[in-house]
Structure 1
Amino acid sequence: MDDALVVLDDREDSAELLREAGAYASGADADLVLYVPLTESEFGDVVSALDEIGRVENKDYSDEEAMGIARQYAEGLADEALEGFDVEWSIVADRVEEMASERVIEVAEDHECGHVFTLGSQRSPTGKAVFGDETQRLILNFRGYVTVKMK
């Protein structure tokens, strides 16, 4: 259970989070599972963009090809961020109604990950770091280690 799940999104900090996870995995001789959850609205944005491309190319794109965009994003990010690390990684792209800690835990357990890396955000106007509800649930309910990178 040394393997780690890395929750990726479209924030710039994802690359740095991935490098931190790569350092962990390299030192622990662990594999990484790159988890790319697409919410319904994010999935809709990708489908709309593919529809526009399809109109120009006179081609219809499938929902699976839209999920392929998420996998390509993770692959490109991993190729760059994990360069120099001797780490094996795989990608799980998922379509979700909304980002939920329960789903992150489920994916981590399905892949036998004992560590989860995720991004947090600063919520307080005074600059005090306060985890969001889903991050708190993840920390409290996951049976392994959770590393939260604050932006």
Structure 2
Amino acid sequence: MNDALVVLEDRDACEDLLREAAMYAKGADRDLVLYSPLTTEEFEEAASTLDEIGRVENREYNDDEILGVAFTFARELASDALEDMDVEWSIVADVVEERTANHIVDVAEEHDCDHVFTLGSQRSPTGKAVFGDRTQRLILNFPGYVTTKMN
């Protein structure tokens, strides 16, 4: 059985994306893999915040606890968006330099997903040509289905 990967980034837009993915998963009898990546910058920001909390609590937080920020984000989002849906889901979190299409493809393949749900962003054709477009590269490079919700 192949599952569906849902790339979580923006809380508000991802709730709708999760609901769409859940409807697909329920109809296709699939599970969802919720992918919650932190960029290096976001990881360092969370580490700094937890450092300040740790000073007050007189304790140190390790990297796994810092990565827990990504797990917590995904868990809270899924609890809100999927509470009335009868769908199994799991969370994958990691730290990446940047969220690239190739990395998303790797995660999807690693978790046996044949469908990816992701957010897209509106760009002009010139913007796509100059800066590239992650969603476009994902659609071109992923060997399965890609569903994009425009953010």
- TM-score relative to the length of structure 2: 0.91
Asked if structure 2 preserves the Cα contact closer than 8 Å seen for 1:2 and 1:28, the reply is no
Q: Which runs of 5+ in 1 are unaligned?
A: 125-131
| Contact 2:117–2:148 (Cα < 8 Å) also in 1 | yes
Match of 2:38 in 1: 38
Q: Tell me what 2:104 maps to.
A: 104
CA RMSD in angstroms comes to 1.6
Q: Which amino acid aligns with 2:136?
A: Q
Answer whether contact 1:3 1:112 (CA < 8 A) is retained: yes
The alpha-carbon deviation at position 122 of structure 1 amounts to: 1.4
Aligned to 2:24: 24
Counterpart AA for 1:39: T
1:1-150 matches, within 5 Å, as 1-124=1-124, 133-150=133-150
Percentage of matched positions with identical amino acids: 65
C-alpha contact 2:11 2:77 (8 A) present in aligned 1? no
Structure 2, unaligned runs of 5 or more = 125-131
Question: TM-score, normalising length from structure 1?
Answer: 0.91
Distance 1:12 1:76 in 2: 12
Aligned residue pairs, count: 146
| SS of corresponding position for 1:12 | helix
The one-letter code of the counterpart of 2:61 is Y
* Bigger fraction of residues in helix: 2
> 3-state SS of the aligned residue for 1:86?
coil
How far is 1:80 from its partner? 1.1
The whole-number CA distance in structure 1 between the counterparts of 2:117 and 2:149 is 8
List 4+ stretches of structure 1 deviating above 4 A. Answer: none
